[in-house]
A and B are shown apart, each in its own frame.
Chain A
Amino acid sequence: MSERIVISPTSRQEGHAELVMEVDDEGIVTKGRYFSITPVRGLEKIVTGKAPETAPVIVQRICGVCPIPHTLASVEAIDDSLDIEVPKAGRLLRELTLAAHHVNSHAIHHFLIAPDFVPENMMVDAINSISEIRKNAQYVVDMVAGEGIHPSDIRIGGMADNITELARKRLYARLKQLKPKLNEHVELMIGLIEDKGLPEGLGVHNQPTLASHQLYGDRTKFDLDRFTEVMPESWYDDPEIAKRACSTIPLYDGRNVEVGPRARMVEFQGFKERGVVAQHVARALEMKTALSRAIEILDELDTSAPVRADFDERGTGKLGIGAIEGPRGLDVHMAKVENGKIQFYSALVPTTWNIPTMGPATEGFHHEYGPHVIRAYDPCLSCATHVMVVDDEDKSVIKDEMVRI
């Protein structure tokens, strides 16, 4: 006697998704399916045919949760298409912006999971500590990239301006000051997560991890030949779900993967742990890594060096790849620039990679733990949607052959 438990939309995550779990008499999940139900945004189509500089400005508005990774992946893809060599100081400022954003974004996730792990009597302190960390991290993004939410100074070829020496010293002092507070917060969160007593093995799966860099991203570590994409209708074995799911299923070496903080720690720091607790621990530890890197960059940055390369925007039609490690995982944008216009644009975004892995990760445990498993991925669906309904009558989506890589 199996029963179906549906959580729609799943809560305390960004964007709208649904979790459908088949459970047995004991309430144990025998089959888990997770899929996006967020409406399509169509930004890749909006930027096609427009001037290159249009892409970062538009795609950073894909969502307000991680605009920084999208902006960076966009300029990196166009830099690559136009064969631009970004000056060192420009690269450092980009990296600094992303490091600060990692700190901010992971802190937001701690806010989202606080009701799962933080006892009532500690809630106020935890939220204050999260706010303090976010304020400082966003201050860095604001100063370095021109704006906290949709940074205006991350440009094709580098950055709009270098920061002043005074700003560098201030930011350095500010982050140094934040360090003990952040360490304390990370220790607290890890302690609470480990003491929660989640069942051993919750969320453990055997899928491979995918990451291109420990923190920033490296296009040379993403091999387009190993990437394939299938439509939801050939992935989900339930036709109803296949029809409603609106993100494609990206595979690496033909397998669905896990991306994000744990994947990065596995690929670059020899981290061995798996499952929900490991994902939370990796995410918390990454805040430390990111803050240390930000301080390191501010220490070595030459504020008098050029930060932007001159470039010819006409382009040769070369397919450029921008690979950025967003807080939730690998964010790949692809762009072709020819005759001064974008001819092709595609965004392959972090949570899209995780979606096919998340559902099955709920299997083998009581369905009450389902949301815990989902939240461990810090899913963000807004930019993941890539399929749309064409026929409102029978709700059929675009055909397989229309998906171009």
Chain B
Amino acid sequence: MPYDAEILVVGCGNILFKDDGFGPEVIKALEEYFKDKEKPENVMFIDAGTGGPHFVFSLPHEQWKKMIVVDVVEFNAEPGTLRKFEVTEIPKGSYENMHTWPVSQPLHELSEKIDVVVIGCKPEEISAPNVEMGLTPPVKKAIPRAIQMILEEIGVSK
């Protein structure tokens, strides 16, 4: 499916490893939220799983204007704390494309062309390499607030 919208909300992470599934879970919750509401036409929600750098960030479309990445970010705060990050604040290597393409930091590169923000949630536990599904309570609790932040970003007023 072509990602041909002006604004993209991209949930990144691996649902097999506890809080790393935050991004995809937020996308699921967003779709649920808009089930009985009018979703703005120029917006697309994408559950990118672990394929964000390779399948989304490095394949830009003409019509893209803004991308909102939703993911867990390690920063100094309580688990479940949300914060908006600029791409420049994200440590190098966070969104590496390890599929041997020339672009190794596709999100950093993309942010030079379009508006990119990251809605980051501080994780409590990422269980890799142990498969343990489901978010920890503080991170699960952060979902409604994350949705509010995303709505503000895409210009949908409450």
In the complex, the answer to whether A51 meets B16 with C-beta atoms within 8 Å is no
Contacts of A41-92 to chain B: CB distance below 8 A: 50-51, 53-54, 57-58
Q: B130 interface residue, CB < 8 Å from A?
A: yes
Q: In this assembly, does B59 line the interface, its C-beta being within 8 Å of a C-beta of chain A? A: no
> What's the minimum C-beta distance from B47 to chain A, rounded to whole angstroms?
13
Within the assembled complex, what's the spacing in Å between the Cα atoms of A54 and B16?
9
Q: Is B132 an interface position by the 8 A CB rule?
A: yes
CA A53 to CA B132, docked complex, whole Å: 6
User: Does B91 belong to the interface (CB within 8 Å)?
Assistant: no
Task: Looking at the assembled complex, report how far the CB atom of B129 sits from the nearest CB atom of chain A, in whole angstroms.
Answer: 6
For A50, list chain B residues within 8 Å (CB).
129-131
Classify chain B's interface size: under 10
Q: Which of B116-137 contact A (CB under 8 A)?
A: 127, 129-133
Assess the A57–B16 pair: CB atoms within 8 A. yes
In the bound complex, CA of A80 to CA of B130 (Å): 20
Chain B residues lying within 8 Å of A54, measured Cβ to Cβ, are 129-131
A140 to B85, CA, bound (A): 43
Quick one: closest A residue to B15, CB to CB? A152
Q: How far is the CB of A103 from the nearest CB of chain B, in Å? A: 29
Which B residues lie within 8 Å of A51 (CB)? 127, 130-132
Contacts of B132 on A, CB cut-off 8 Å?
51, 53
Taking the closest CB of chain B, its distance from the CB of A34, in whole angstroms, is: 36
Closest to A313 in B: B132
**Which residues of A are found within 8 Å of B133, using beta-carbon distances?**
53
A54–B131 Cα gap in the complex (Å)? 4
Among A139-176, those with CB < 8 Å from B are none
Min C-beta distance of B98 to chain A, whole Å: 18
Considering only CB atoms, which chain A residue lies closest to B134 in the complex? A53
Which residues of A sit under 8 angstroms from B129, Cβ to Cβ? 50, 54
Bound together, the chains give a CA A163 to CA B135 distance in angstroms of 24
The minimal Cβ–Cβ distance linking B126 to chain A, given in whole angstroms, is 13
A57–B133 CA distance with the chains assembled, in angstroms: 11
CB-CB nearest in chain B for A160: B133
Cβ-closest chain A residue relative to B130 = A51
On chain B, the residues within 8 Å of A57 by CB distance are 16, 131
Question: Could you tell me the distance between the alpha carbons of A57 and B131 in the complex, rounded to whole angstroms?
Answer: 8
Q: Measured between C-beta atoms, what is the minimum distance from A289 to chain B in Å?
A: 34
How far, in Å, is A105 (CB) from chain B's closest CB?
A: 26
> In the complex, what's the smallest C-beta–C-beta distance from A79 to chain B, in angstroms?
16
Chain B residues with Cβ below 8 Å from A58 are: 131
CA distance A57 to B128 in the complex (A): 13
B128 → chain A closest CB, angstroms: 10
Complex Cα spacing A53 to B129, Å? 11
In the assembled complex, how far is the CB of residue B49 from the closest CB belonging to chain A, in whole angstroms? 11
Q: Which of B127, B129, B130, B133 has the most CB of A within 10 A?
A: B130
A58 to B130, CA, bound (A): 10
* Complex Cα–Cα for A50 and B130 (A): 5
Bound complex: CA of A51 vs CA of B128, how far in Å? 10
Min CB gap B50→A, angstroms: 13
Residue of B nearest to A57 (CB): B131
Which A residues are CB-close (under 8 A) to B127?
51
Bound: A58/B129 CA distance, A:
11
- Which residue of chain B is the closest to A58 with respect to CB atoms? B131
Binary B-proximity of A238-279 (CB < 8 A = 1, otherwise 0): 000000000000000000000000000000000000000000
Shortest beta-carbon distance from A323 to chain B in Å: 23
**How many angstroms between the C-alpha atoms of A58 and B131 in the bound complex?**
9
CA distance A279 to B46 in the complex (A): 48
A363 to B132: give the CA distance in the assembly, Å. Answer: 51
The chain A residue sitting closest to B132, CB to CB, is A51
A386 to chain B, nearest CB (A): 22
A378-404 residues with Cβ-Cβ distance < 8 A to B are: none
Using a CB-CB cutoff of 8 Å, which residues 62-94 of chain B contact chain A?
none
Contacts of B131 in A (CB 8 A): 50-51, 53-54, 57-58
Closest to A50 in B: B130
Interface centre among A50, A54, A57 (most CB of B within 10 A): A54
User: Which B residues contact A (CB, under 8 angstroms)?
Assistant: 16, 127, 129-133
A-B contact pairs, 18 of them (CB 8 A): A50-B129, A50-B130, A50-B131, A51-B127, A51-B130, A51-B131, A51-B132, A53-B16, A53-B130, A53-B131, A53-B132, A53-B133, A54-B129, A54-B130, A54-B131, A57-B16, A57-B131, A58-B131
9 tightest Cβ-Cβ pairs between the two chains A and B: A51-B130, A54-B131, A53-B131, A50-B130, A57-B131, A51-B132, A54-B130, A51-B131, A53-B132
15 more A-B residue pairs beyond the given contacts A50-B131, A53-B130, A53-B133, with a C-beta to C-beta distance below 8 A: A50-B129, A50-B130, A51-B127, A51-B130, A51-B131, A51-B132, A53-B16, A53-B131, A53-B132, A54-B129, A54-B130, A54-B131, A57-B16, A57-B131, A58-B131
